[in-house]
């Protein structure tokens, strides 16, 4: 298998300001990072996951939107690794690929500045901020945007267009998609409850994560990407195929590309949005490939659903599991819900608080988006 190395990661979400704090906070059952708000959907209370850290303003007004301020926080965490890559390869050989759903739609509505609404604005911001001279692009395909950004970055490296790629995704809380999900009647007025018979829908969150990807393994390497499975279906614009046929195919494609069996996977981070239709689809899809033989959890009851940034934020959390410097005791990410599993779904092996696994090597991260976009990425622990 061909590996692409994740040599650095910066991340921020409602549950922490870096991989270590996010991972540790996720393990504590007393922590609750979902808060009620009646100002985003005016006069109606729903739960959201907000980043409460103060974010630095961006001097260039073209790029001064909250999504980019989240990215800037991530860049500051790994600036030395990025600078080293630029010095090593040159400004033309370091690419940028950033996924997003919202970019700066709210800021555009307030100011009329068309730059804020551009899907490529976050990628353009990093390209400008880091004074790069090569390839950059934005990616937007709903909730799979983060994994699709990884896929684009992987192809840039494999085809020798870049020697390093700064990739990831960002989304800030935004009224436009919030009203959209409200119109679909899938926003929850209580903390979300993935795979529970009592689930009522999603809690939208915000966050960002960026990763320095290289063909060469550095001393700071966190893990490697071994494969990405991608499929699409045309079942419905906003509702997934309940049988999860193409979602299962994405998982199987990832396994096949990596040369792995289902039994090689130590943990799956589920898309797990807590809507009736998504959880039904994903439970069916996972069960087709794995039955209930692999530990799984959804972390959206911790971070909220970060839309275009969810796959990137959840990959950062997975790095917390797989890296022995962070996870010294082998704890898996718990599945936080009310414990009332929906028995109309195939029974999945949901991770309990305090559950451990020995010698975690391969992790699968699932993301599924509107329009039938399905992705499954496998990362691997790298020995020191």
Name the active-site residue from 271, 306, 310, 380. 271
Question: Is residue 384 predicted with pLDDT exceeding 70?
Answer: no
296-341: per-residue pLDDT in tens? 999 999 999 999 999 999 999 999 999 988 998 999 999 999 999 9
Q: Residue 100: helix, strand or coil by DSSP? A: coil
* CATH class of the structural domain 226-380: alpha beta
Note the pLDDT of residue 236: 87
pLDDT at position 383: 77
Residue 306 catalytic?
A: no
Dump pLDDT digits (tens) for 122-173. 999 999 999 999 999 999 999 999 999 999 999 999 999 999 999 999 999 9
pLDDT tens digits, 26-39: 999 999 999 999 99
3-state SS, one letter per residue, for 238-272 = CCCCCCCHHHHHHHHHHHHHHCCCHHHCCEEECCC
Give yes or no on whether 4-214 and 226-380 have one common fold: yes
| Predicted pLDDT of residue 239 | 87
CA-to-CA distance for 92 and 135, rounded, in angstroms? 7
The yes-or-no verdict on residue 2 having pLDDT over 90 is no
Exactly one of 305, 310, 335, 380 is catalytic; name it: 305
Residue-wise pLDDT tens digits, 362-378: 999 999 998 889 999 99
Under a CB-based contact definition with an 8 Å cutoff, are residues 112 and 106 in contact? no
CATH of 4-214, one of 3.40.50.720, 3.90.550.10, 3.10.50.40, 3.40.47.10: 3.40.47.10
310 is catalytic: no
pLDDT digits 0-9 by tens, 74-131:
999 999 999 999 999 999 999 999 999 999 999 999 999 999 999 999 999 999 999 9
d(CA 215, CA 164): 7
Domain boundaries along the sequence of the chain: 4-214, 226-380
For residues 351 and 360, is the Cβ–Cβ distance under 8 A?
A: no
- Residue 271 bears catalytic tag: yes
Contact 300, 274 (CB under 8 A): yes
Stretch 337-357: mean pLDDT: 97
Contacts within 8 Å (CB) and 24+ apart, 52-60: 52/14, 53/12, 53/17, 58/125, 58/129, 60/125, 60/128, 60/129
> What would the two tokens of residue 141 be?
């395909």
Is residue 347's pLDDT more than 90? yes
Q: What integer pLDDT is reported at residue 11 of this predicted model?
A: 98
Average model confidence (pLDDT) across the chain: 96
With the CA atoms of 76, 16, 373 and 192 taken in that order, what torsion angle do they form, in degrees rounded to the nearest 10? -160
Provide the token pair at 10: 């910066």
* DSSP per-residue codes, 351-379: PPTT-B-SS--EEEEEEEETTTEEEEEEE
Please report which confidence band the pLDDT of residue 1 belongs to, taking 50, 70 and 90 as the band edges: low
């Amino acid at each position: 298998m061909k590996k692409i190395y994740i040599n650095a990661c910066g991340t921020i979400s409602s549950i922490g300001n870096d991989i270590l704090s996010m991972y540790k906070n996720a393990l504590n059952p007393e922590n609750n990072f979902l808060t009620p708000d009646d100002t985003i959907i005016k006069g109606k209370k729903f739960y959201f996951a907000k980043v409460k850290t103060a974010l630095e303003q961006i001097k260039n007004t073209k790029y001064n939107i909250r999504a980019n301020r989240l990215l800037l926080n991530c860049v500051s965490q790994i600036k030395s690794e990025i600078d080293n890559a630029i010095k090593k390869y040159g400004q033309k050989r370091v690419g940028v690929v950033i996924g997003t759903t919202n970019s700066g739609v709210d800021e555009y509505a307030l100011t009329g500045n068309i730059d804020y609404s551009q899907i490529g604005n976050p990628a353009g911001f990093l390209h400008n901020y880091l004074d790069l001279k090569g390839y950059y692009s934005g990616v937007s395909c709903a909730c799979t945007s983060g994994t699709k950004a990884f896929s684009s970055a992987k192809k840039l490296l494999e085809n020798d267009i870049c020697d390093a790629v700064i990739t990831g995704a960002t989304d800030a809380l935004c009224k436009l998609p919030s009203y959209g999900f409200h119109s679909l009647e899938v926003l929850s007025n209580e903390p979300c409850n993935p795979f529970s018979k009592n689930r009522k829908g999603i809690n939208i969150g915000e966050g960002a994560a960026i990763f320095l990807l290289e063909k060469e393994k550095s001393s700071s390497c966190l893990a490697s990407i071994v494969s990405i499975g991608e499929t699409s279906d045309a079942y419905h614009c906003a509702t997934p195929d309940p049988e999860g046929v193409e979602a299962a195919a994405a998982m199987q494609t990832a396994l096949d590309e990596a040369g792995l069996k289902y039994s090689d996977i130590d943990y799956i981070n589920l898309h797990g949005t807590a809507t009736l239709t998504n959880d039904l689809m994903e439970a069916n899809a996972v069960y087709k490939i794995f039955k209930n033989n692999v530990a799984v959890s959804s972390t959206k009851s911790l971070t909220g659903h970060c839309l275009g940034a969810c796959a990137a934020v959840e990959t950062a959390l997975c790095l917390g599991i797989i890296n022995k410097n962070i996870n010294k005791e082998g704890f898996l990410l718990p599945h936080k819900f009310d414990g009332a599993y929906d028995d109309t779904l195939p029974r999945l092996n949901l991770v309990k608080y305090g559950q451990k696994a020995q010698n975690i090597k391969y992790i699968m991260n699932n993301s599924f988006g509107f329009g039938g976009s399905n992705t499954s990425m496998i990362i691997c622990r790298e020995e020191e």
